[in-house]
Amino acid sequence: MSLASFMPPSPAPLSPAPLSPDATLITPRGPGLLPWLAEAWRTRRIALMLARRSLKARYRQTWLGAGWAILQPLLLMLVYWGIFGHLLGVPTGGEAPYPVFAFTGLVLWQFFSRALMDASASILHQAHFVTKVYFPRLHMPLASLMVAAVDMAAGLVCLALLLAAFRIWPEARWLLLLGPLALLLVTGAGAALVLSALVLRFRDVGHLLPLTTQVLMVAAPVIYPAHLVHGVMGTLYRLNPMVTVIEGARAALLGTPAPEPVPALLSVAFAAGLLLLGLRTVRRTEPAMADLI
Segment 89-111, tens digit of pLDDT: 888 877 788 999 999 999 999 99
Give the model's pLDDT for residue 59.
72
Per residue in 181-221, pLDDT (tens digit) is 999 999 999 999 999 988 888 888 888 888 888 888 988 99
Q: What is the mean pLDDT of residues 30-57?
A: 86
What is the pLDDT at residue 5? 52
Instruction: Quote the CA–CA distance of 183 and 185 in Å, as a whole number.
Output: 5
Amino acid symbol at 102: A
pLDDT above 90 covers a percentage of the chain that reads 33
- Spatial neighbors of 192 by CB under 8 A, at least 6 apart, are 115, 116, 119, 120, 122, 141, 144, 145, 278
- Average pLDDT, integer, range 138-157: 91
Q: What is the mean pLDDT of residues 116-142?
A: 83
Give CA angle at 169 (74, 102), nearest 5°.
Answer: 30
pLDDT tens-digit profile of 51-98?
A: 988 888 777 766 766 677 778 888 888 888 888 877 788 888 777 889
Longest dimension (CA), the chain: 77
The predicted pLDDT at position 103 comes to: 93
Q: What is the mean pLDDT of residues 152-164?
A: 92
Q: Residue 88's pLDDT is what?
A: 80
How many whole angstroms separate alpha carbon 192 and alpha carbon 200?
13
**229 contact partners, CB below 8 Å, separation of at least 6:** 237, 238
Query: Amino acid identity, residue 169?
Result: W
- Name the more confident of 6 and 212: 212
Q: 96: closest CA among 225, 240, 228?
A: 225
Residue type, 233: M
Strands (E) located in the chain:
none
Strand, coil or helix: what is 198? Answer: helix
Over residues 248-284, the pLDDT tens digits come to 999 999 988 888 899 899 999 999 999 999 999 999 8
Question: What is the per-residue DSSP string for 148-161?
Answer: HHHHHHHHHHHHHH
| pLDDT, mean of residues 38-56 | 89
pLDDT band at 292 (very low <50, low <70, confident <90, very high): confident
Query: Nearest CA to 107 among 271, 249, 275?
Result: 249
Higher-pLDDT residue of 26 and 112 is 112
- Judge contact between 35 and 43, C-beta under 8 A: no
Q: Mark out the alpha helices in 32-97 (DSSP H runs).
A: 33-42, 44-58, 68-80
At position 168, the amino acid (one-letter code) is: I
